[in-house]
Amino acid sequence: MATIAVYSSKGGVGKTTLAVNLAWAAAALSSRRTLLWDLDAQSGASFILAPNRKAGDEARAVIERDLSPRKLIVPTSIPNLDLLPADASLRTLDVLFSEIDSKKRLLRISEALDKDYDRIIVDCPPGLGVTADQVIRSADLILLPVIPSTLSGRAADELSAHLGYKKGAPSLLPVFNLVDRRRSAHRAALDAIPGRHALPMASLVEQMADRHAPVGVYAPRAPFVQALGALWREVEARLAKS
């Protein structure tokens, strides 16, 4: 079992849609038993994949180890893909992790699920605090969505510098996200780093919340899905090497 965290210290970079689509890729393209763990109190991934689920306040109890994650996990309409949903009880997650006397709480919860899943995709909340440190300790690979812009690039540099101080830190894979090739700044960023994966901005991605599904379910031949497939193949290759 491998854990892949989709993380950014900056909001608004398409982190949640990337996490949902990556989870679909793991389940559909690689036939992996996949769990999408929503750790963001905004519950965007949970809304997309389980819109009819009645939200409670159990997500915090999973972190506190008062509730087994298996009690909260729900299946999705996608074969091989389950969801560990978020709710508003995670809004003070940094405070909770500060109070818990365990620097590897996320890692221990993930390890308890290693017989159930091949891949765990974690949709992380933004920020560079205690939760980020928990993510770093638990992940085998961190995917960092980056909009081709100065501020988003700065957030990526901050995380790279932060990881540089962490012994045994996971591999970091930056990904250009929400790319609009009509914009000169975006084209310049792509030209500056030609080998980096780039997922295009597309109306199909914006439809995920209305369709309650990853893009690959309703538009499997779209350019976005082709770019996602190439990204997922690199993710699998990196995990195989590690």
pLDDT digits 0-9 by tens, 131-164: 988 988 899 999 999 998 776 667 677 777 766 6
- What percent of the chain is predicted at pLDDT more than 90? 74
Compute, in degrees rounded to 10, the torsion defined by CA atoms 238, 97, 34, 125.
-80
Rounded to two decimals, the pTM is 0.93
What are 37's two structure tokens? 């763990």
Q: CA–CA distance from 187 to each of 15, 45, 51, 148, 152 (Å)?
A: 21, 29, 36, 8, 15
DSSP-derived letter for residue 29 is: I
The predicted pLDDT at position 128 comes to 78
> Tens digits of per-residue pLDDT, 203-219?
999 999 999 999 999 99
Helix/strand/coil for 126 = coil
The predicted pLDDT at position 134 comes to 92
The predicted pLDDT at position 166 comes to 64
With residues binned 3-state (H G I as helix, E B as strand, rest as coil), the percentages for the chain, rounded to 5, are 45, 15, 40
Q: How far apart are CA 49 and CA 36, in angstroms?
A: 10
The predicted pLDDT at position 189 comes to 87
Q: How far apart are CA 228 and CA 232, in angstroms?
A: 6
Q: How far apart are CA 121 and CA 1, in angstroms?
A: 11
Angle (CA) 229-234-235 rounded to 5° is 95
Residue 16's closest CA among 119, 143, 103?
143
The predicted pLDDT at position 70 comes to 96
| Domains of the chain and any CATH numbers | 2-241 (3.40.50.300)
DSSP-derived letter for residue 87 is: -
Point out the residues of the chain with pLDDT beneath 50. Answer: none
